[in-house]
Chains A and B, each alone.
Chain A
Amino acid sequence: MRFGDVGRLALENLWRTRLRTVLTTLGVVIGIGALVSMVSFGSGIQHNIASEFRELELFTLIQVLPGDVDLSDPLAAGMRAMEEGVETLDDETLAALRAVPGVALAYPEVSFPARLEFDGESAQTTVRALPAAIGEFKPFSELPYGAFFGSDGDAAIVVSQSLLEDLGIRLTDVPATAGRAHGDTTVTYAMLHSDEVLGRTLTLHTAVVDARSLMRQVASFEIPSGDLPVREEITELTIVGILERAGGFTSIGLGGQAIVPPETAEEIPRLAVSSVWDLIGGGGGDAGYSSISVRVRSMRDLDTVKGEIEGMGLSTVTIADHLEDIRSAFVVMDALLGAVGTIALLVAGLGIANTMVTSILERTREIGVMKAIGGGEWDIRRIFFVEAAAIGLMGGVLGLVLGWLVTRLANAIANAYIRPYGVPATDLFHMPLWLILGAVGFSVVISLLAGIYPAARAARVDPVTALRHD
């Protein structure tokens, strides 16, 4: 029998028992729907992280740390460093790093806590010093409002939208002259246009040790009560740019809600302790930096530059390293998500096998007749196989549609939930081509596997017995 006839017969049989066909197919649809939506969720998260990293040009970033750092146990490493002394990060290192071919930018990591005050509201945050040259890189090159400062000595500051919210300000597109409604019911924000923020002065309050007060306390054996020997210094800075809301993945490797130029940061009086490295190394300047960030010109330079830096006896961390860890974590997550879907599909496969065996019992006589008029075992087997495959194919395609609808619905719901928190709309799901083809293929394969036993059994039907069958 020709394959076209086999296919036609199989489809005719499925049509004849259409209620059962629909119910069986529904099982596959649900299985594939579950599989597709689960895997596309896992895939969506990975996709979003990777594209966000790419978007932020984080793949060009190398974090340089003092030599021989055991990142898993920084404290022990720190102790050892104090005892033995390691390759530290100082201005000499900085100059050497800047000289490495492929390096676009190298700057020390400097950050300090400060209180910011604007329009009578204040907020505590961490201020980072970044060179003006980083303004060429994302996300600083594409600030939504204003621009990155142009020189390392400007009395300027770039703030994030979340910091502005901490200061009770929300940005609106409505110009100042028009009437505005208040956005939130629990917290009252001042709705301001970006033009009402940019160019205005913000005061930065930093704490410094008041040497005189400390001396006085020490001299009089006075127990410090209430008044710490700390004095507040004030620096005025102009807001030149506003960053996207920091949060989600964007904060990885960037951190910071407020950015100032490095020379300006140098002049801001402050306590210089912000990390364990500052304790060890003495914190900045000649004594050394806690870490240095290096930006390479292109992703292709990353590995050579990284190798060169490590050759200088320094440790490096790249986002690519992190991404490998993340990726292996995702393999586990994908496997778990996929397993749930696969179980659903296997149950559907059993449903197919069950339906087909039932169908053989019903069609025993018919199979006998087909054999009597010339049907071979091969023909009968193929008819049943095609029936199983057709259920798998229909179930696979419709399951894909179901899975897609589920992801769209889930995405709409999730976005509706996170939108009030100001998170920009993202597609949480990603359905790559391999998933689409793989899901349908998997469905057909499972169906064929489910069809093996019924098809073999149908082919083995003894025509003499079958023709006596009622």
Chain B
Amino acid sequence: MCGSIIGPRSEDVRACRTGITVKGFPLEHILRIRNLSKTYHRGAIPIHVLRGIDLSVRTGEFVSIVGRSGSGKSTLLNLLGGLDTPDEGTIIIDGEELAAAGPRALALHRRRTVGMVFQSFNLIRSRTAIENVTLALAFGEYPRAKRRDRASSLLDSVGLLHRVDHRPGELSGGEAQRVAIARALANDPFVLLADEPTGNLDSATSSEIIDLLEKLNREDGLTVLMVTHDHGGARMVSNRVLTLLDGQVVDEEVVTR
């Protein structure tokens, strides 16, 4: 289970995700959320997007989050990704408290701990597929001489070796999302956060992307949190499916794969 495309990290302990504790924290739970709340203000009107979410995710788990638009799924993922900060509650990922972290610590978190995949791919249009991946490696201060090799092998592992020098505009939706996944894996994260990764894709391509995520989870032990509309598709690959409604977890279904 160690290595493969995610690559061995310096700390083998973490890479192998055995149940050994690091800093006194049981590695079994890579992610713990307690009483997480987030409120946005539209003018004077407060919108309670998340209202006291509790969630624990085990290392190597595939968790899907479903729910209607506006149920708070994406906000939850943004908080886990360190793109936003909660008003209340705690987020502990890989033993680190995220809720109270400053901008520098959040940047490090986004760089090292999580990898994010979005519905609209969010590739940089002026850069080729491989350059999008090497940019992430540059932020991760990966040795410059080895960046292209690593980016190539990442793109190879998502089946895009033949498209490395194409710009996003020249790629199909499925191909673009594969580049985005390769980029999310560039700095060898513990958790992959996928925010409706198939939302912009046709059903056939959606299945391919879901299969790719499932393969990464199954073969490489990558922990995956996926927000999706597709409840049926989610049940096929996930260990658990959570349903969010009005900022609260209203249903949790454990799937036996």
Contacts and interface: CB of A to CB of B under 8 A. Distances in A.
Interface residues of B, number: 29
B187 A467 contact: no
Contact of A2 (B116, B141, B183): B141
A464 B83 contact: yes
Interface string A351-388: 00000000000000110111111111111000000000
B124 A375 contact: no
Given A4-B144, A464-B84, A375 B139 contact: yes
Contact of B103 (A5, A372, A376): A376
B104 A376 contact: yes
B138 A5 contact: yes
Interface residues of A, number: 23
Interface in A166-214: none
Interface in A88-129: none
Contacts of A423: none
Interface in B103-144: 103-104, 107-108, 110-112, 116, 118, 120, 122-124, 126, 135-136, 138-141, 144
A16 B126 contact: yes
Most B C-beta atoms less than 10 A away, residue of A16, A373, A377, A379: A373
A370 B135 contact: yes
Contacts of B135: 9, 370, 373
Contacts of A365: 122
A463 interface: yes
Contacts of B90: none
B144 A374 contact: no
A375 B183 contact: no
Contacts of B136: 373-374
B60 interface: no
B72 interface: no
A23 interface: no
A373 B126 contact: no
B214 to A, nearest CB: 23
A416 interface: no
B140 A374 contact: yes
Given A370-B135, A464-B78, A464-B84, A375 B107 contact: yes
Interface in B174-216: 183-184, 186-187
B141 A1 contact: yes
A374 B112 contact: yes
A376 B141 contact: no
A360 to B, nearest CB: 15
B221 interface: no
B109 to A, nearest CB: 9
A429 to B, nearest CB: 44
Nearest to A17: B126
Interface of B: 78, 81, 83-84, 103-104, 107-108, 110-112, 116, 118, 120, 122-124, 126, 135-136, 138-141, 144, 183-184, 186-187
4 tightest A-B contacts by CB?
A374-B111, A376-B107, A374-B139, A5-B138
